[in-house]
Chains A and B, each alone.
Chain A
């Protein structure tokens, strides 16, 4: 592993040179929220805040055209929507990067039971460079270390930054070939052992802030027992099925496919969908396997905490980013649900 120092006064020059080669996105504050925006000079960067939307949008955009069709006479022409420029996300939170790896298990894994891979997601996975920003100030609702991650977890990242005050330590991960594209010898210097020790102390301190929280793990009880808990009915009385948890969740990847246009030019697009919505599962016949709030709410938590780990080596479908906890209008808390699910039979 190679580690470099970038002095903060050189950061804008460094980013500018990266932006010559890549489509660089950086976190900025806008209308009271932190968001990723395309890099421009003189942007005020906001590495500290937690972005409202996770990095999911860069791999599975909220809406994307998948295929374009023209029908001329009896011929059908189809074109796959063009591949985009190589993306570089600079300042991604480790939880959000780890979520992309989790999403890849479903959408881009060769070993899954279906051999189909999502070509759009997979292309972005191969071409996107992610530079993480170690969370030295975990948020009030953060619990990444309870889900198998951590404030300085490196899963899914090509490099990780530690903020040392006047300078940034950039650790490059050599098992990720794209990491070498981040080296800029004119603006970086090799990090000394002293600097590395200081960075390790910062990381350790951040982890400490989140210690003592209960682990989010797959409950020991079987699905059929969990499925029948009173918990779902009780919690559903509060839930309004607004879907904000699924939109903000970095590991929620359900989507809808829609056809638009008419005549000679039509497109097939997809957009995020949500298991919180009744239409999600409604059959044409009128039958709905998940007809009410209870069934839909249960689906979300059972999927995250039981079905997903069952299929994918015990990994829970939650990275502890805390967004659903922060923004749920009725204060439904996945940590609490997880605790109640774990208590069953115990």
Chain B
């Protein structure tokens, strides 16, 4: 019988500091065994929007949204805030350390429904990780023709807190991407993008909705709340907006009981829910 708790061994290959406060780092992991990488990266097994459990031997196991795209074969990327017991330890690990991975887990973004649509990716702060996965996936030459226009909205507290700075410029310049990068406050005068909160940037810049659009939203609770309001005002229907939720998790497979919101289990029914599903959910998160 398959044991869902068995981990794939992975090696820490590279660490990138992402933010000016040095609390966010990206960890690139490589699979130890080719066949296990094949299994993980199998088409329709791993899709953007999913998460995995990252395990530090003797320390603990945590759920993390997968920041890399299935098209980035064998490169598994997590961008992690230093905040708890496991993430503090992770931030100190030297390259070459052996870790464990379980996954991919959860439903991911609804790619069947997103095909041939104009997609708005709307992210704030630390939660941009699975949106990076979605963006890289859609921009891949093999997938690009399956999607219409891409509107990218990404905000952070200040320029130093933006993730993936190396890639941001390329996304902004990309012909297929209508990019709106924003910060709450500007540190230097060389800032050439928006200043303001994401919900208001969305209100200003996102075209009105028709039946060809869908929006994917990831961010802190308050940003999500006001972004959903802005999207409704733009005419987005509850079935056209998808939100990724987070909750404390241990098992990641719907068994341990702690990530539930009413009868919904965030890990196994989600983490991605439509705004329609969200509207029906109890306010217990």
In the assembled complex, B192 has its CB within 8 A of some CB on chain A: no
Does chain A have a CB within 8 A of B110? no
Determine whether A223 belongs to the interface, using a CB cutoff of 8 Å to chain B: yes
Complex Cα–Cα for A285 and B55 (A): 19
CB of B4 within 8 A of CB of A76, answer no
Inter-chain contacts of B5 with A (CB < 8 A): 66-67, 119, 268
User: Does the CB pair B61–A76 fall under 8 Å?
Assistant: no
A71 within 8 A of B: yes
Q: Do A113 and B60 have beta carbons less than 8 Å apart?
A: no
Residue in A71, A122, A299 whose CB lies within 8 Å of B57: A71
**Are A114 and B268 closer than 8 Å at their CB atoms?**
yes
Stretch in B115-123, B230-238, B245-253 touching the partner: B245-253
A257/B256 in contact, CB under 8 A: yes
- Greatest chain B CB density within 10 A among A113, A116, A122 is at A116
- The reply to whether A78 and B6 contact each other, CB–CB distance below 8 Å, is yes
Taken residue by residue from 79 to 123, chain A's Cβ proximity to chain B (1 for < 8 Å, 0 otherwise) reads as 010000000000000000000000000110000111011110011
A255 touches B250 (CB 8 A): yes
Task: Evaluate contact between A258 and B253: CB separation under 8 angstroms.
Answer: no
Q: What residues of chain B lie closer than 8 Å to A303, measured between beta carbons?
A: 260
Smallest Cβ distance from B13 to chain A, in angstroms?
12
- Assuming the contacts A262-B58, A273-B258, asked whether A283 and B284 have C-beta atoms less than 8 A apart, the reply is no
Interface positions of A from 295 to 345, Cβ below 8 Å from B: 295, 299, 302-303, 306-308, 310-311
Interface contact A299-B284, CB-CB below 8 Å = yes
Q: Decide if B261 touches A114 in the complex (CB within 8 Å).
A: no
Is A256 an interface position by the 8 A CB rule? Answer: yes
Q: Do A284 and B84 touch across chains, with their CB atoms under 8 A apart?
A: yes
**Which stretch, A9-17, A130-138, A274-282, touches the partner chain B?**
A274-282
Residues of B within 8 A of A58 (CB): none
A253 within 8 A of B: yes
* Contact residues in A for B96 (Cβ distance below 8 Å): 74
Which of chain B's residues 241-281 have a Cβ closer than 8 Å to chain A?
246-248, 250-251, 253-263, 268-269
Tally of A-B Cβ pairs under 8 angstroms: 132
Given A69-B57, A119-B1, the answer on whether A310 and B284 have CB atoms closer than 8 Å is: no
Q: Which B residues are CB-close (under 8 A) to A268?
A: 5, 55, 61
CB within 8 Å for A223 and B100 given contacts A114-B254, A256-B256, A283-B247: no
Given contacts A116-B4, A283-B248, contact A266 B255 (CB under 8 A): no
Chain B neighbourhood of A285, CB < 8 A:
83
Are B257 and A273 in contact, with the CB atoms below 8 A? yes
Q: How far is the CB of B153 from chain A (nearest CB, A)?
A: 22
A292 contacts chain B at the CB level, 8 A cutoff: no
Q: Chain A residues with Cβ under 8 A from B83's Cβ?
A: 284-285
Q: B2 touching A281 by the CB < 8 A rule?
A: no
Q: How large is the interface on A (under 10, 10 to 19, 20 to 34, 35 or more residues)?
A: 35 or more
B61 touches A255 (CB 8 A): no
Q: Confirm or deny: B170 has a beta carbon within 8 angstroms of a beta carbon on chain A.
A: no
A71 to B97, CA, bound (A): 10
Tell me the residues in window 97-148 of chain B with beta carbons closer than 8 Å to chain A beta carbons. Answer: 98, 100
- Which of chain B's residues have a CB closer than 8 A to the CB of A302? 262
A44 at the interface (CB under 8 A from B): no
CA distance A322 to B215 in the complex (A): 49
With beta carbons under 8 angstroms apart, the residue of A76, A118, A261, A262 that contacts B255 is A118
Residues on A with beta carbons closer than 8 Å to the beta carbon of B259: 281
Say yes or no: B253 contacts A259, CB within 8 Å.
Answer: no
**Does A227 belong to the interface (CB within 8 Å)?**
yes
A249 to B11, CA, bound (A): 42
Shortest Cβ distance from B23 into chain A, in angstroms? 12
Whether B262 contacts A259 by the Cβ 8 Å rule is: no
- In the complex, the answer to whether B260 meets A307 with C-beta atoms within 8 Å is yes
The verdict on A254 contacting chain B, using a C-beta distance below 8 Å, is yes
Docked complex Cα distance between A114 and B252 (Å): 10
Q: Is the CB of B32 within 8 A of A76?
A: yes
Contact of A281 among B3, B11, B56, B247 (CB under 8 A): B247
With the chains together, A226 CA to B107 CA distance in Å? 29
Query: B261 to A289, Cβ gap below 8 A?
Result: yes
CB distance from B264 to the nearest CB of A (A): 9
Q: 4 extra interchain contacts, Cβ-Cβ under 8 A, other than A76-B57, A281-B259?
A: A75-B32, A223-B282, A266-B58, A283-B247
The 10 closest A-B pairs by CB, nearest first: A254-B257, A284-B84, A307-B263, A266-B58, A116-B253, A76-B9, A114-B268, A116-B4, A119-B3, A257-B250
The 17 listed contacts between A and B (C-beta, < 8 Å) are A67-B5, A67-B7, A69-B57, A78-B100, A80-B3, A114-B268, A119-B4, A227-B284, A259-B55, A262-B58, A266-B58, A275-B258, A283-B247, A284-B87, A284-B248, A289-B285, A310-B263
